[in-house]
Amino acid sequence: MPDQNYAPSPEFAAQAVGTADLFDQAEKDFEGFWAEQARTHVTWRTDFDTTLDWSDAPFAKWFVGGQLNVAENCVDRHVEAGNGDRVAIHFEGAEGDTQTITYADLQKRVCQAANAFTELGVRTGDRVAIYLPMIPEAIVAMLACARLGAPHSVIFGGFSADAIRSRVADAEARVVVTADGQHRKGKVAPLKTAVDEAVRGEDSPVEHVVVVRRTDADVEWTDKDVWWDELVDRQSTEHEAQAMDAEHPLFILYTSGTTGKPKGILHTSGGYLAQAAYTNRIVHDLHPETDVYWCTADIGWVTGHSYLVYGPLANGATQVVYEGTPDHPHQGRWWEIVEKYKVSILYTAPTAIRACMKWGADIPAKYDLSSIRVLGSVGEPINPEAWRWYREHIGGGSAPIVDTWWQTETGAIMISPLPGVTTLEPGSAQRPIPGISAEILDDMGEPFTEPEKVGYLVLTKPWPSMLRGIWGDDARYKETYWSRFGSEYYFAGDGAKYDADGNIWLLGRVDDVMNVSGHRLSTAEIESALVSHPTVAEAAVVGAADDMTGQAVWAFVILRGDAANDDEEKTVADLKAHVAGEISPIAKPKSIMVVSELPKTRSGKIMRRLLKDVAEGREIGDSTTLTDASVMDFIKKGMSKG
Ligand code: WTA
């Protein structure tokens, strides 16, 4: 049934949080609509007087005059409302250890951590880096920062010492929070060692490293180090939160762009929280009193920020936080967790769904998944086959799937079905949600609506959770997002088209950003990691279509004269390990081809398009602009040899 679509059942529609009239309200009064969302989903210490100040575009100010404390919104207000006994977090550790954390518990833990950070000298405005596995302390540390108005910069636990060093330096973080190790598939993997290496030296801005005891692995100890339990556990469980301006910075999150240097995406407090909470309610159809929600993302990515920490906690949800992987100790681990906690809303990524498809439908079939009533997808386009499998085998053939398009930069969901309203079209993220406006432009920057024509996705109005800039680089912010089609349009970097029903289909990145298993990687960043290896003279990287991971990293390298005769297999293995060490194992190329030339235009630009043709096993496209067309023949011969 390739063309089948799926209307919401009347029962689902009747109880849904997100209703059709939201579209009309937002259409009629854009600012009034968002003001209402901000007042509904956020508790303000001081109400705002101006909904949107766009006079300094593209630098937006939302909810001007308003004051709030984000952590208070995520924790304290639920306790005050009498829900202190509600479970905030069902923590499921990688080793089978568990914790049940109520909102009252969370409040105490966040207050203690806020007091601890204060003792270390952290003040409003100071930056704190967080490099932790998926353990409760990660969430507690983020909220403690929010409570103090000290922007956090969470660094994904898979990143290397170099990646930590550059992020810590860029944000000038005074404190890093890490752990003595992390559990990975039954083994203990080091974590603190990367931090040690990253903060070593006089020039590091880091004064203190707070170390959570997680694995009892032996760690080296330095003057900067302090154990989390020794510092935090003795603190008072009370802490008076200060109100912050709506535009007070909440966090910086680094993400790949088209150049080698990651961008520090800046998000602020009021607008971010309002849209994270609002979208979590209407898109995931969250009923905080009855649902058990589970977002499988790591807090190192934006999905973990908006839909594991800020959105669900602002809404007072009960959620599962899982430290481990889907396939350890067995491939039914996720479904075992769904059954155990009666998870009703599951939000995950297409790459995970494809992996489960490969393992087979008989695995989820062994568990009782009948609690599931909403499924979500994020990070990359979900192919219709995976969509149908997800609905059939995880969603009991009836759960609506929300395919949510958004970005680190947008802070929250922008394009998605509403599960109680939208007739679902597998593979398409469909329509902008109420309050959001998108268009598709052609090469000339003209909007069009013709079906099946491919163009560029743009956003045409500011939105509350939009990035407020790139940390320390206003020029790059304007140039990257607000110049491609003029200052009226936010350029998302994604290709898109409409279908005949007006649904939007996202078609992947149009810039030099790759999407591997939902992780954003820049070709330039991996190229510079390769070139930093002593044997490499030149490198070109492309993202090639891949059945499992969406895209896979393919690298083409020219070796230096003296290395060219070395054992090629070993060189390739060394280079893969080198990239993993320089950036992260997720950036490791799937394939590295040693070549003698790279295809270049007369102006010296590498024609990645042709390399992509090779990697995807296609006929090579137009190569007439190459300086030397025979280069591609050599590369193709090399391919058939391998
Ligand atoms: C891609 C993740 C198609 C897109 C929240 C975007 C998607 C980039 C979808 C942002 C989706 C994310 N359908 N593509 N539902 N969701 N993308 O910053 O290319 O890690 O620009 O944010 O992921 O990735 P990021």
Of 253, 307, 383, 407, the one to substitute when testing ligand 1's pocket (max ligand atoms within 8 A of C-beta) is 407
Q: Is 359 annotated as a binding residue?
A: no
Q: Is 151 annotated as a binding residue?
A: no
532-553 in b/e form (b: 16+ CB < 10 A) is: ebebbebbbbbbbebeebbbbb
409-437: average pLDDT: 98
Q: What is the dihedral of CA 517, 518, 520, 522, to 10 degrees?
A: 40
Q: Are 79 and 202 in contact (CB under 8 A)?
A: no
Centre of ligand 1 from the C-alpha of residue 515, in Å: 8
24 Cβ neighbours under 8 A, 6+ residues apart: none
Nearest CA owner, ligand 1 atom 8: 407
pLDDT of residue 355: 92
**ipTM, 2 decimals?**
1.00
Of 422, 506, 510, 521, the one to substitute when testing ligand 1's pocket (max ligand atoms within 8 A of C-beta) is 506
Q: Is 596 annotated as a binding residue?
A: no
Cα–Cα nearest to 334, from 301, 317, 356, 306: 356
pLDDT of residue 620: 79
pLDDT, tens digit (0-9, with 9 covering 90-100), for 380-393: 999 899 999 999 99
Q: Quick one: which atom of ligand 1 is closest to the CA of 513? A: 19
469 Cβ neighbours under 8 A, 6+ residues apart: 59, 266, 477
Q: For residue 179, is it left (φ>0), alpha (ψ between -120 and 50) or beta?
A: beta
Grade residue 2 by pLDDT with cuts at 50, 70 and 90.
low
Least confident of 85-89, 253-257, 363-367: 253-257
47-71 in b/e form (b: 16+ CB < 10 A) is: ebeebbbeeeebbbbbbeebbbbbb
Cα separation, 195 vs 73, in Å, equals 31
Nearest CA owner, ligand 1 atom 12: 379
3-class DSSP state of 372 = coil
DSSP symbol at 545: E
E strands within 128-221?
128-130, 152-154, 175-179, 182-184, 187-189, 208-212
pLDDT at 1 exceeding the cut of 60: no
Least confident of 43-52, 164-173, 404-413, 622-631: 622-631
Grade residue 640 by pLDDT with cuts at 50, 70 and 90.
low
Q: Quick one: which atom of ligand 1 is closest to the CA of 303? A: 5
Topology of 10-495 in CATH?
A: Rossmann fold (3.40.50)
Entry field: residues in the chain:
642
Q: Are 298 and 253 in contact (CB under 8 A)?
A: no
Q: Is 344 annotated as a binding residue?
A: no
Centre of ligand 1 from the C-alpha of residue 451, in Å: 22
pLDDT of residue 382: 92
357-361: average pLDDT: 94
Centre of ligand 1 from the C-alpha of residue 413, in Å: 10
For the chain, percent helix, then strand, then coil, each to nearest 5? 35, 25, 40
Cα separation, 398 vs 498, in Å, equals 26
Report percent pLDDT > 90 for the chain. 85
Centre of ligand 1 from the C-alpha of residue 581, in Å: 25
Cα–Cα nearest to 229, from 180, 280, 174: 180
Q: Quick one: which atom of ligand 1 is closest to the CA of 407? A: 22
Least confident of 328-337, 338-347, 406-415, 607-616: 607-616
pLDDT of residue 189: 94
Q: Is 184 annotated as a binding residue?
A: yes
Cα separation, 303 vs 43, in Å, equals 23
453-480: average pLDDT: 97
pLDDT at 642 exceeding the cut of 50: no
Q: Is 520 annotated as a binding residue?
A: yes
Specify the residue for token string 């300094």.
Answer: 56
pLDDT, tens digit (0-9, with 9 covering 90-100), for 241-270: 999 999 999 999 999 877 768 899 999 999
pLDDT, tens digit (0-9, with 9 covering 90-100), for 508-536: 888 888 999 989 898 888 998 998 999 99
Q: If 0-12 CB within 10 Å is exposed, 13-18 middle and 19+ buried, where does residue 185 land?
A: exposed
Specify the residue for token string 């289909």.
Answer: 505
Centre of ligand 1 from the C-alpha of residue 541, in Å: 20
Q: Domain ranges in the chain?
A: 10-495, 517-640
pLDDT at 541 exceeding the cut of 80: yes
pLDDT, tens digit (0-9, with 9 covering 90-100), for 587-633: 999 999 999 888 887 777 788 888 999 999 888 777 777 777 778 88
pLDDT at 290 exceeding the cut of 90: yes
Of 280, 515, 521, the one to substitute when testing ligand 1's pocket (max ligand atoms within 8 A of C-beta) is 515
Q: Is 186 annotated as a binding residue?
A: yes
Q: Is 516 annotated as a binding residue?
A: no
Ligand 1: residues whose CB is within 6 Å?
255, 301-303, 378-381, 403-408, 429, 492-494, 506, 509, 515, 520
pLDDT of residue 538: 87
Nearest CA owner, ligand 1 atom 15: 405
- Tokens, residue 272: 């971010």
β-strand 249-255 against 455-459: which pairing, if any? unpaired
Nearest CA owner, ligand 1 atom 13: 381
428 Cβ neighbours under 8 A, 6+ residues apart: 403, 499, 503, 504, 505, 506
Report percent pLDDT > 70 for the chain. 99
351-374: average pLDDT: 96
Cα separation, 256 vs 540, in Å, equals 17
Q: Which CATH superfamily is domain 517-640 in?
A: ANL, C-terminal domain (3.30.300.30)
Q: Is 234 annotated as a binding residue?
A: no
90-115: average pLDDT: 97
What is the edge-to-edge ordering of all strands in the sheet holding 504-509?
438-441, 455-459, 490-498, 504-509
Centre of ligand 1 from the C-alpha of residue 305, in Å: 15
Task: Check if 10-495 and 517-640 are the same fold.
Answer: no
Nearest CA owner, ligand 1 atom 23: 379
